[in-house]
Amino acid sequence: MGILATIVVGLIAGVLASLIMKARGGLIIDLILGVVGGFIGGWLSGLLLGRNMMTGINLTSILVALVGAIIVLVVYRLIFRSR
């Protein structure tokens, strides 16, 4: 999938992940973590399933990016909660 589509899907996933996880990091942080989560989700799906499930702007890609964004959000909370 193209970088632009990954970014768009990541932005959507970031907002959804912040709603699910009840994050209070702010919109910009949520969007950044969502984009990073989109790349992480695509990488993990390729690693675990043998193919990248990020195939465009569709429901499957949003779900994969959402899983990646939740993982990134959990790691973010672990890092910044301990400080």
Q: What would the pLDDT profile of 1-57 be if each residue is shown by its tens digit? A: 588 888 899 899 999 998 898 877 788 888 898 899 989 998 999 999 988 888 889
Question: Could you tell me the pTM of the whole model?
Answer: 0.87
pLDDT for residue 83 is more than 80: no
Burial 17-48 (b: 16+ CB within 10 A, else e): bbeebebebeeebbbbbbbbbbbbbbebbeee
**Residue 40: domain span:** 3-81
Number of domains composing the chain? 1
Q: Does the structure show a pLDDT above 70 at 82? A: no
The answer to whether residues 70 and 20 touch, using CB atoms and an 8 Å cutoff, is yes
Rounded Cα distance between 56 and 52, Å, is 11
Of the CA atoms within 13 Å of residue 42, those in its CB half-sphere come to: 20
Query: In 1-83, at which residue ranges do the beta strands (DSSP E only) sit?
Result: none
